[in-house]
Amino acid sequence: MARSELTRLTGSFNGPECDDDDCPNVYRTARGSIAVQGTISRAFQPPEGEALVEIPEAVLREAVHALGW
């Protein structure tokens, strides 16, 4: 799936301002699922095919606001 197919939910409300695409973000896919971009976490080893990432709380709050939750 290309990034252009995602709806970016963060980066413009109360979260960190990022003009480049290398900072934590939350996206909605065309299927309605959520994709999260963040720093790789080593807190535990997730199952094969999954990844564990960390994002700041402000980024998650912004995504929730954007979704109207």
The 10s digit of each residue's pLDDT in 1-55 is 788 889 999 886 555 556 666 788 999 999 999 999 999 999 999 999 999 999 9
Output the pLDDT for position 60.
92
Which pLDDT score, from 0 to 100, does residue 68 have? 93
- Please tell me the pTM assigned to this model: 0.79
pLDDT at 20: 61
Which residues, at least 6 apart from 35, have a Cβ–Cβ distance to it below 8 Å?
A: 6, 26, 27, 28, 29
More confident residue, 22 or 62: 62
Task: Find tokens 């909605």 and name the residue.
Answer: 28
Task: Say how far apart CA 13 and CA 6 lie, in whole Å.
Answer: 18
Which pLDDT belongs to residue 1? Answer: 79
